[in-house]
Structure 1
């Protein structure tokens, strides 16, 4: 993310301090426009097609179907692809998923290098850092699809359901999941599985609090969906 590193250089902070709040907003707006224009130019230069939100979702789910049926194509994993995206990235989807080692988005959706902007954290929770990463992807890289992906038997969700003391910083994600657990605590069925789905919905709500995310959803440029990954079958089911 060298664009961001450049933008927040100490010299730029000194400039921001001298121009005040209005000037800061203008600077940020102009910087976003410049980076988006550069991304669009890069996209055109290498001949990559732009996808609508629905087309991006279809592409993602088709990849999962290949994976679950044990017919992966392993696209975009060649030496040519590495060189093609070396100078610029144009992922067609952003996925907020759990850090669980069994739920790697590129693998379960049968995609390759530069296809998915991954944001992975235990419990697929929308922390401030996670939201910032997602805002970068949807506002600057203009990914047309954003998915929150939970999974069966999630350890983070299990910890939230049990709500017991945990050592070190392991339990820091529990607080972010508890509101979802409370919503379904009286529902029939498996408490953990219910909470996994509820947590996907809850984190989707948190993402929509971002103006950068919500504005693109409202304009039709971005589609926000939820998914639940089944560890046994490899199938991702959309969460309504």
Structure 2
């Protein structure tokens, strides 16, 4: 770790200690932004997560480039948001569960998802703290609640999973806890959590008939607008059979 001699594990954060290579564990929720300026969220981090500083502060002097250690996800933060809410750590080793251990944790994934659905919520781009989520932030949070780390974005989750065959009306190979992927032929843009019997839970926006978490289906007999829209964009499905190791994703 760069200049680790200046730090010891447990050192409270100070702005002058946020040098490249230093790692910190937060004890309060934190917004990560998609750019060094503006309000667009990249993702959110809940208390207990860890991050590593990637570079010096932006030219404005306001934001700092970091990556979250559990999933390698990058973003920009206001370093002042860390004051009083972060302590130095000596990096972090991810817990890598076996495929069978992950399967044993799926009831906890599904329980988190159902509890989230019961709360009042809206779709939030970049949302992963809840009650407001985007599609992939919701999926990552559900798996993380069971101690299983997967990538942050839908297209990354699609690449990460073991493929499972699926088509509208043909979903017999799917298991509860699998992920359903949607989008254009060129790219995955949306993801849902399979519940069984052709149903999946996902967070979607108002432009497709809902604003937040809801249950829709793969059965062609379902004619509600949300189910119909996403069936036309169905790309495939995948099963989580491994854990993310914390390396940086492209």
TM, length-normalised to structure 1 = 0.26
Q: Which structure carries more helix by proportion? A: 1
Structure with the higher strand share, 1 or 2: 2
TM-score, length-normalised on structure 2? 0.26
